[in-house]
Amino acid sequence: MDGDGRGELVTWNQGGKRLLWLKPGPDPTRPWEAFVIHEGVAEEGLAWADVDGDGRPELIAGTSWYEPGRDVRLPWLRFPFAEGYVGTVVGAADLNGDGRVEIVLSEGDASLHGRKGRGRVAWFEPGDDPRLPWREHVLADDLVDPHTLIVADLTGDGLPDILVGEMSFADRPQIILFVNEGEGRFTAHVLDEGIGTHEGKLIRVGGRLGLVGKPFTGKHKGEVHLWILPFAPGG
Protein backbone atom coordinates (compact mmCIF):
# COMPACT_ATOMS: atom_id res chain seq x y z
CA MET A 1 0.00 0.00 0.00
CA ASP A 2 2.73 2.46 0.97
CA GLY A 3 5.66 0.98 -0.95
CA ASP A 4 7.60 -0.18 2.10
CA GLY A 5 7.91 -3.74 0.80
CA ARG A 6 5.64 -5.20 3.48
CA GLY A 7 2.12 -6.46 3.00
CA GLU A 8 -0.86 -4.62 4.45
CA LEU A 9 -4.49 -5.61 4.94
CA VAL A 10 -7.71 -4.05 3.59
CA THR A 11 -10.90 -4.76 5.51
CA TRP A 12 -14.55 -3.80 5.92
CA ASN A 13 -17.93 -5.50 6.38
CA GLN A 14 -21.58 -4.89 5.58
CA GLY A 15 -22.33 -3.96 9.19
CA GLY A 16 -19.83 -1.13 9.34
CA LYS A 17 -19.41 2.05 7.38
CA ARG A 18 -15.63 2.28 7.20
CA LEU A 19 -13.27 0.89 4.59
CA LEU A 20 -9.82 0.56 6.18
CA TRP A 21 -6.30 -0.51 5.44
CA LEU A 22 -4.12 -1.78 8.25
CA LYS A 23 -0.35 -1.48 8.54
CA PRO A 24 1.75 -3.79 10.73
CA GLY A 25 4.44 -2.43 13.01
CA PRO A 26 7.83 -4.02 13.71
CA ASP A 27 6.02 -6.72 15.69
CA PRO A 28 3.10 -7.99 13.55
CA THR A 29 1.59 -9.73 16.58
CA ARG A 30 0.84 -6.33 18.09
CA PRO A 31 -2.22 -4.24 17.03
CA TRP A 32 -1.82 -2.75 13.56
CA GLU A 33 -2.25 0.92 12.69
CA ALA A 34 -5.52 1.65 10.84
CA PHE A 35 -6.05 4.21 8.07
CA VAL A 36 -9.46 5.17 6.62
CA ILE A 37 -9.85 4.70 2.87
CA HIS A 38 -13.50 5.78 2.89
CA GLU A 39 -16.34 6.00 5.36
CA GLY A 40 -20.11 6.37 5.18
CA VAL A 41 -20.74 3.43 2.81
CA ALA A 42 -21.98 0.09 4.20
CA GLU A 43 -21.12 -2.38 1.44
CA GLU A 44 -19.04 -5.53 1.05
CA GLY A 45 -16.80 -7.33 -1.41
CA LEU A 46 -13.13 -6.66 -2.25
CA ALA A 47 -10.86 -7.20 -5.25
CA TRP A 48 -7.68 -5.74 -6.75
CA ALA A 49 -7.21 -5.01 -10.47
CA ASP A 50 -5.77 -2.37 -12.76
CA VAL A 51 -9.10 -0.80 -13.71
CA ASP A 52 -7.74 2.43 -15.20
CA GLY A 53 -4.87 0.98 -17.23
CA ASP A 54 -2.08 2.82 -15.44
CA GLY A 55 -0.14 -0.37 -14.70
CA ARG A 56 -0.94 -0.33 -10.99
CA PRO A 57 -3.76 -2.27 -9.28
CA GLU A 58 -6.64 -0.31 -7.81
CA LEU A 59 -8.92 -1.38 -4.97
CA ILE A 60 -12.43 -2.48 -5.95
CA ALA A 61 -14.78 -2.41 -2.97
CA GLY A 62 -18.51 -2.92 -3.37
CA THR A 63 -19.85 -0.78 -6.20
CA SER A 64 -16.86 1.59 -6.39
CA TRP A 65 -13.16 1.51 -7.10
CA TYR A 66 -10.61 3.52 -5.16
CA GLU A 67 -7.13 4.92 -5.62
CA PRO A 68 -4.98 6.88 -3.17
CA GLY A 69 -3.96 10.49 -3.58
CA ARG A 70 -0.48 11.77 -2.83
CA ASP A 71 -0.64 10.47 0.74
CA VAL A 72 -1.89 6.88 1.03
CA ARG A 73 -2.63 7.49 4.71
CA LEU A 74 -5.38 10.00 3.86
CA PRO A 75 -8.85 9.05 2.49
CA TRP A 76 -8.67 7.75 -1.07
CA LEU A 77 -10.47 8.93 -4.21
CA ARG A 78 -13.70 7.02 -4.83
CA PHE A 79 -15.21 6.28 -8.26
CA PRO A 80 -18.63 4.52 -8.30
CA PHE A 81 -19.01 2.23 -11.32
CA ALA A 82 -22.47 0.77 -10.49
CA GLU A 83 -25.52 1.68 -8.45
CA GLY A 84 -28.39 -0.17 -6.80
CA TYR A 85 -26.45 -3.37 -6.09
CA VAL A 86 -26.54 -4.72 -2.53
CA GLY A 87 -24.63 -7.29 -0.49
CA THR A 88 -22.04 -7.70 -3.21
CA VAL A 89 -19.24 -10.16 -3.82
CA VAL A 90 -16.65 -8.80 -6.26
CA GLY A 91 -14.41 -10.20 -9.00
CA ALA A 92 -12.46 -8.73 -11.91
CA ALA A 93 -10.88 -9.85 -15.19
CA ASP A 94 -10.72 -8.97 -18.89
CA LEU A 95 -13.98 -10.69 -19.82
CA ASN A 96 -14.49 -9.55 -23.41
CA GLY A 97 -10.91 -9.58 -24.72
CA ASP A 98 -10.59 -5.82 -25.15
CA GLY A 99 -7.45 -5.62 -23.03
CA ARG A 100 -9.23 -3.78 -20.22
CA VAL A 101 -10.47 -5.02 -16.86
CA GLU A 102 -14.19 -5.60 -16.32
CA ILE A 103 -15.79 -6.02 -12.89
CA VAL A 104 -18.23 -8.73 -11.78
CA LEU A 105 -20.78 -8.23 -8.99
CA SER A 106 -22.85 -10.97 -7.37
CA GLU A 107 -25.52 -9.99 -4.83
CA GLY A 108 -24.51 -12.58 -2.26
CA ASP A 109 -26.51 -11.08 0.61
CA ALA A 110 -29.56 -9.81 -1.29
CA SER A 111 -31.95 -11.34 1.27
CA LEU A 112 -30.52 -9.12 4.01
CA HIS A 113 -31.73 -6.17 1.94
CA GLY A 114 -35.27 -7.50 1.36
CA ARG A 115 -34.53 -8.93 -2.09
CA LYS A 116 -34.74 -12.70 -1.60
CA GLY A 117 -35.02 -14.44 -4.95
CA ARG A 118 -33.96 -11.32 -6.81
CA GLY A 119 -30.19 -11.52 -6.46
CA ARG A 120 -28.29 -10.41 -9.54
CA VAL A 121 -25.04 -11.44 -11.16
CA ALA A 122 -23.69 -8.90 -13.62
CA TRP A 123 -20.49 -7.71 -15.21
CA PHE A 124 -19.61 -4.10 -15.84
CA GLU A 125 -17.70 -2.66 -18.77
CA PRO A 126 -15.79 0.64 -18.56
CA GLY A 127 -16.22 3.41 -21.09
CA ASP A 128 -13.51 5.75 -22.29
CA ASP A 129 -13.26 7.24 -18.79
CA PRO A 130 -13.29 4.55 -16.07
CA ARG A 131 -14.06 7.22 -13.48
CA LEU A 132 -17.61 7.47 -14.87
CA PRO A 133 -20.37 4.83 -14.35
CA TRP A 134 -19.79 1.61 -16.28
CA ARG A 135 -22.08 -0.29 -18.67
CA GLU A 136 -24.05 -3.08 -16.99
CA HIS A 137 -24.48 -6.61 -18.42
CA VAL A 138 -26.87 -8.73 -16.31
CA LEU A 139 -26.32 -12.50 -16.41
CA ALA A 140 -29.03 -13.45 -13.88
CA ASP A 141 -31.53 -11.54 -11.73
CA ASP A 142 -33.49 -14.26 -9.91
CA LEU A 143 -30.94 -15.93 -7.63
CA VAL A 144 -31.11 -16.45 -3.88
CA ASP A 145 -27.97 -15.00 -2.33
CA PRO A 146 -25.26 -16.08 -4.81
CA HIS A 147 -22.54 -15.59 -2.20
CA THR A 148 -19.89 -17.72 -3.91
CA LEU A 149 -18.25 -15.92 -6.83
CA ILE A 150 -15.22 -17.13 -8.77
CA VAL A 151 -13.87 -15.40 -11.87
CA ALA A 152 -11.26 -17.60 -13.57
CA ASP A 153 -10.64 -19.78 -16.62
CA LEU A 154 -12.55 -22.89 -15.62
CA THR A 155 -12.80 -24.50 -19.07
CA GLY A 156 -9.18 -24.35 -20.22
CA ASP A 157 -9.74 -22.13 -23.25
CA GLY A 158 -7.90 -19.10 -21.86
CA LEU A 159 -11.06 -17.06 -21.28
CA PRO A 160 -12.19 -16.12 -17.74
CA ASP A 161 -15.50 -17.70 -16.79
CA ILE A 162 -17.87 -16.78 -13.96
CA LEU A 163 -19.03 -19.29 -11.36
CA VAL A 164 -21.63 -18.48 -8.70
CA GLY A 165 -23.19 -20.54 -5.93
CA GLU A 166 -26.41 -19.79 -4.06
CA MET A 167 -26.53 -20.06 -0.29
CA SER A 168 -28.84 -22.52 1.45
CA PHE A 169 -31.79 -20.11 1.75
CA ALA A 170 -33.03 -21.25 -1.67
CA ASP A 171 -35.33 -24.29 -1.91
CA ARG A 172 -32.97 -25.87 -4.44
CA PRO A 173 -29.76 -23.82 -4.28
CA GLN A 174 -27.77 -23.92 -7.50
CA ILE A 175 -24.16 -23.75 -8.57
CA ILE A 176 -24.04 -22.06 -11.97
CA LEU A 177 -21.13 -21.71 -14.37
CA PHE A 178 -21.36 -18.91 -16.92
CA VAL A 179 -19.03 -20.10 -19.66
CA ASN A 180 -17.28 -17.30 -21.52
CA GLU A 181 -17.96 -17.72 -25.24
CA GLY A 182 -15.86 -14.71 -26.19
CA GLU A 183 -16.60 -11.06 -26.98
CA GLY A 184 -18.70 -10.64 -23.84
CA ARG A 185 -21.06 -13.58 -24.48
CA PHE A 186 -21.79 -16.12 -21.72
CA THR A 187 -23.75 -19.38 -21.60
CA ALA A 188 -25.17 -20.57 -18.25
CA HIS A 189 -24.71 -24.19 -17.11
CA VAL A 190 -26.25 -25.48 -13.85
CA LEU A 191 -23.55 -27.69 -12.32
CA ASP A 192 -25.42 -28.75 -9.19
CA GLU A 193 -28.74 -28.22 -7.45
CA GLY A 194 -29.79 -28.90 -3.87
CA ILE A 195 -26.75 -28.05 -1.74
CA GLY A 196 -25.93 -24.42 -1.05
CA THR A 197 -22.47 -22.99 -0.65
CA HIS A 198 -21.49 -19.90 1.31
CA GLU A 199 -17.84 -19.15 0.51
CA GLY A 200 -16.80 -21.68 -2.11
CA LYS A 201 -13.16 -21.70 -3.26
CA LEU A 202 -11.27 -23.31 -6.12
CA ILE A 203 -9.12 -26.32 -5.33
CA ARG A 204 -7.00 -28.62 -7.48
CA VAL A 205 -7.40 -32.35 -6.86
CA GLY A 206 -5.20 -34.73 -8.84
CA GLY A 207 -4.68 -32.13 -11.54
CA ARG A 208 -8.40 -31.37 -11.84
CA LEU A 209 -10.16 -28.21 -10.74
CA GLY A 210 -12.88 -28.43 -8.14
CA LEU A 211 -15.00 -26.25 -5.91
CA VAL A 212 -14.93 -26.76 -2.16
CA GLY A 213 -17.58 -25.12 0.01
CA LYS A 214 -19.94 -25.39 2.93
CA PRO A 215 -23.69 -24.72 3.23
CA PHE A 216 -24.59 -21.67 5.30
CA THR A 217 -27.70 -23.21 6.88
CA GLY A 218 -30.18 -26.07 6.45
CA LYS A 219 -29.83 -29.82 6.84
CA HIS A 220 -26.33 -29.85 5.32
CA LYS A 221 -24.96 -27.15 7.63
CA GLY A 222 -21.61 -28.16 9.09
CA GLU A 223 -20.68 -30.31 6.10
CA VAL A 224 -17.92 -29.59 3.60
CA HIS A 225 -18.61 -30.50 -0.03
CA LEU A 226 -16.34 -30.92 -3.05
CA TRP A 227 -17.51 -30.58 -6.64
CA ILE A 228 -15.18 -31.58 -9.48
CA LEU A 229 -15.82 -29.16 -12.32
CA PRO A 230 -16.83 -31.10 -15.45
CA PHE A 231 -15.58 -28.47 -17.90
CA ALA A 232 -12.23 -27.94 -16.18
CA PRO A 233 -8.93 -29.06 -17.72
CA GLY A 234 -8.47 -32.73 -16.88
CA GLY A 235 -12.20 -33.08 -16.12
Q: What is the pLDDT of residue 170?
A: 72
pLDDT in the model for residue 233: 56
Query: Would 36 be classed as within a structural domain?
Result: yes
Query: What's the pLDDT tens digit per position in 158-202?
Result: 999 999 999 977 789 999 999 999 999 999 999 999 999 999 999
Domain that residue 58 falls in:
1-66
The pLDDT of residue 31 is 97
Strand partners, 33: 23
> Is 28 domain-assigned?
yes
30, 56, 123, 154 from 180: Cα distances, Å: 45, 26, 12, 9
Residue 103 counted as domain residue? no
The CA angle 74-55-177, to the nearest 5 degrees, is: 100
CA 33 to chain centre: 26
Q: Which residues of the chain have pLDDT under 70?
A: 231-235
Q: Is residue 59 part of a domain?
A: yes
What pLDDT, on a 0 to 100 scale, did the predictor assign at position 206?
A: 86
Residue whose C-alpha is closest to residue 47's, from 15, 16, 84, 10 = 10
> In this structure, is residue 22 part of a structural domain?
yes
Cα separation, 19 vs 84, whole angstroms: 19
Q: pTM here?
A: 0.94
Is residue 120 included in any domain, yes or no? no
Q: What local confidence, expressed as pLDDT, does residue 168 receive?
A: 76
Q: What does the pLDDT read at residue 235?
A: 43
Q: Is residue 2 part of a domain?
A: yes
Q: Is 176 inside any structural domain? A: no
Work out how many domains the chain is built from and give that number.
1
